[in-house]
Amino acid sequence: MTQHKTLASLAVLVQSGQLDSLALTEDTLTRIEGHADQSIFVGLTRDRAAREANAASERIKAGRSRGLLDGLPVAWKDLFDVAGSITAAGSVVLRDKAPASSDAAVVAAVGSAGMVSVGRTNMSEFAFSGLGINPHYGTPRNPASTDVHRIPGGSSSGAAAAVAAGLVPLAIGTDTGGSVRIPAAMTGIVGYKATRGRYVMKGVFPLAQSLDSLGPLCHSVQDAVWADAAMHGLTAPVIRRAELADLSLVIPETIVFDEAEAEVVAAFEAAIKRLEAAGVRVRRQAFPSFAAIFELTARHGALVNAEAYALHRERLAGPDAARMDPRVVVRTRLGEKIAVSDYIALLNARDRLIHATLESLKPGELIAHPTLPHVAPPIDPLLADDDLFFKVNAKTLRNTSIGNFLDFCGISIPCGTGAAGMPVGFLISAPHHQDDRLLAAALALEALIRSEA
């Protein structure tokens, strides 16, 4: 019933009374429990879902619907506090802690819109990998793969797989270096990373607070717009579709195409040609600030490593370290070597690079490039070779992490396929706090990017 249905299409059925939210919720839970890949979800919230679905059903029958999303299912990455369930952050070391006593602020906001929380999705442990591999709860299979077990991308692996597999129309993830946009691109769905601070972060387990942001994974830009409105407490979306003739894109010539797979570049460039033919202005330029980010990291260390180490320092010094994913431990401990002076240098340089990037853009321009330089790779070689794991992880995070460092908002839209028929993502980014303009543009560009116009 819910397979590959958008929020918009389900809303028509639920709001018209053709589909009762209780039946939709039961069907959703049945699909999840019967799905071949049991590593997508780490837990279901059946009792809560039944209560919320029943309340939505009664409201809608009485003519008191809370709006477009009332009675529709949503899943949460295992970083969000959901009252009555344990926020384990994809780890076994938190599995025995007390259940959350209250909802995260964004969970409560989405609940106020009438959405039905059905469960928690799997993820990279402590959100510290762009690949989505989890040795504790299993790694979700990429639903787009038709040959071998390919990674779903991370760290919001289960969230992307749940949507791509048609189990839920919406899942909410977090994005510190690409953790919404990467799995969206790898699985062929839409992933929107909001500007850091657009939503209240209370009740969300952090990774690196100067980089952490949130966002929805779904099947369309319109669904992302609806989810965004609910996530920051609006009763209805306020985004207006942009006019194609008013849109301008700039394609970076720095970093983002380095060592990119030919098929990925071809899919992206084909989408650009469609946009240009429709009247969208496109130009290309170098972005020295992009290269400067990686030069800074080589000199001072990574901002995410410094903040993740500060968060997990006591855990790494105790017995919990032996229970964690060894690869997560290795990456987190890199932060121990970052001095306070290096950390401050990173923050100061970050401010300079954000301003330099803004000054290099013409008024109203959006940045466009492939979300990833490659399609989702097979999992087995990554499990067998730590060096390969770290190399692929760094390359996977490269393009998207630029946006986190520069405090962009961004949205990944499928633009075709690459090697092995795997999805390719087209990333559109805007400077911080220009989310409404980004989403308005994405609404107008989506069909052309997907080659559906």
Residue 260 has pLDDT above 70, yes or no: yes
Residue 26 has pLDDT above 50, yes or no: yes
Number of other residues whose CB lies within 10 A of the CB of residue 95: 13
Instruction: Check residue 213 and give its pLDDT.
Output: 98
Residue 2 has pLDDT above 90, yes or no: no
Structure tokens at 208: 């690196």
pLDDT, tens only, 36-71: 999 999 999 999 999 999 999 999 999 999 999 999
User: How far apart, in Å, are the Cα atoms of 106 and each of 26, 172, 394?
Assistant: 24, 10, 30
Residue 83 has pLDDT above 60, yes or no: yes
Instruction: Check residue 143 and give its pLDDT.
Output: 98
pLDDT, tens only, 313-367: 999 999 999 999 999 999 999 999 999 999 999 999 999 999 999 999 999 999 9
pLDDT, tens only, 386-428: 999 999 999 999 999 999 999 999 999 999 999 999 999 999 9
Residue 309 has pLDDT above 90, yes or no: yes
Average pLDDT of the residues in 222-234: 97
Classify the C-alpha dihedral 320-325-327-331 as positive or negative. Answer: negative
Phi-psi region of 301 (alpha: psi -120 to 50; beta: other; left: phi over 0): left
Phi-psi region of 421 (alpha: psi -120 to 50; beta: other; left: phi over 0): left
Q: What are phi and psi of 211, to 5 degrees?
A: -120, -20
Residues annotated as catalytic are 77, 155, 179
Average pLDDT of the residues in 267-290: 98
pLDDT, tens only, 352-366: 999 999 999 999 999
Average pLDDT of the residues in 161-190: 98
Residue 1 has pLDDT above 80, yes or no: no
Instruction: Check residue 452 and give its pLDDT.
Output: 62
Task: Quote the strand ranges of 123-237, DSSP E.
Answer: 170-175, 190-193, 213-218
Instruction: Check residue 24 and give its pLDDT.
Output: 98
Average pLDDT of the residues in 144-164: 98
Instruction: Check residue 451 and give its pLDDT.
Output: 86
List, in order, residues 6 or more apart from 32 with CB less than 8 Å away.
40, 41, 44, 118, 119, 162, 167, 168
Instruction: Check residue 453 and give its pLDDT.
Output: 46
Q: How many helices (H) and strands (E) does the chain have?
A: 15, 11
Average pLDDT of the residues in 182-193: 98
In single-letter form, the type of residue at position 40 comes to: I
Residue from 173, 101, 186 nearest 143 by CA: 186
Q: pTM of the predicted model, to two decimals?
A: 0.98
Average pLDDT of the residues in 242-253: 98
pLDDT, tens only, 409-419: 999 999 999 99
Name 426's bridge partners.
Answer: 370, 413
Give the CA count within 13 Å in the CB-facing half-sphere of 394: 14
Instruction: Check residue 440 and give its pLDDT.
Output: 98
Residue 3 has pLDDT above 60, yes or no: no
Residue 198 has pLDDT above 90, yes or no: yes
Residue 441 has pLDDT above 60, yes or no: yes
